[in-house]
Amino acid sequence: MLRQRYNLPVKGWRRMSRKVIEIVMNMIEYALMDNEDSDGIDMVQDLIKQGYAMEDIDTAFQFVLSLPEILKEKMQRREVVDCHGDAIRVLSPQERAKLREDAQEWLLRLYSAKLLTPDEFEAILTEVDILELEEVGVRELKWILSQVVEDEGRAILLATTPVFGPGSKDKILGQLN
């Protein structure tokens, strides 16, 4: 696959792939070093001094620069398979600590009613995790939901879903059992 995508020669592919991988690893190491004064030319010169051919260096650069496109394509082609059936998603201790109880109840209610897809539910929880707030309530959760759900009309409908009072989480979990 990689050979075809980057027009790598069939002969010597294994040898070349090892070299290209070594170059990519060197590039990563170089990028992680604190080289504020370097413009990348030094890296190429160092690779040539180490004995790598310019063709292999070019292939490594092509590969690294095309990674975002490759990853985007893979994400678009990815098929999500629900292998858990009727399994219930349980909030982690970190998620429970960050989400206020009313926010937990509201989010679980939307998810258990299948108003949110599993991917949307996980994306919301990811956004909650990276949000720089000590505690996230329903108001913040509605804002996150409006950012995550792509269908604007559906996002508005979900964000205007009423919040039940205390104890509704137990009712929801009881309905699931």
First to last CA, the chain: 47
Residue with the two structure tokens 């070349």: 16
Residue with the two structure tokens 């998603």: 89
Number of domains in the chain: 2
Given this model, what pLDDT does residue 2 score?
44
Cα 167 from Cα 102, distance rounded (Å):
9
- Inside any domain, residue 86: no
Last-in-domain residue among 31, 50, 77:
77
Do 147 and 106 lie in a common domain?
yes
Do 70 and 26 lie in a common domain?
yes
| Higher-confidence position of 165 and 103 | 103
> What share of the chain in percent tops pLDDT 90?
24
Do 143 and 171 lie in a common domain?
yes
Do 98 and 129 lie in a common domain?
yes
Cα 88 from Cα 85, distance rounded (Å):
9
Q: Which domain holds residue 97?
A: 93-176
Do 39 and 6 lie in a common domain?
yes
State the chain's mean pLDDT as an integer. 77
Average pLDDT over residues 1-20: 51
Do 72 and 98 lie in a common domain?
no
Instruction: Kindly report, residue by residue over 70-88, the tens digit of the pLDDT.
Output: 767 766 665 444 445 566 6
Given this model, what pLDDT does residue 77 score?
62
- Inside any domain, residue 41: yes
Instruction: Kindly report, residue by residue over 114-134, the tens digit of the pLDDT.
Output: 899 999 999 999 999 888 889
Cα 124 from Cα 122, distance rounded (Å):
5
Last-in-domain residue among 17, 48, 77:
77
Do 73 and 119 lie in a common domain?
no
Do 38 and 99 lie in a common domain?
no
pLDDT at 5 over 50: no
Do 144 and 71 lie in a common domain?
no
- Inside any domain, residue 82: no
Average pLDDT over residues 39-47: 85
Do 110 and 172 lie in a common domain?
yes
Alpha helices of 33-86 — where are they, by DSSP H? 41-49, 54-77
pLDDT at 11 over 80: no
Cα 57 from Cα 76, distance rounded (Å):
29
Q: Is the pTM of this model over 0.85?
A: no
- Inside any domain, residue 163: yes
Do 52 and 111 lie in a common domain?
no
Do 106 and 159 lie in a common domain?
yes
- Inside any domain, residue 64: yes
* Beta-bridge partner residues of 99: 136
- Inside any domain, residue 122: yes
- Inside any domain, residue 84: no
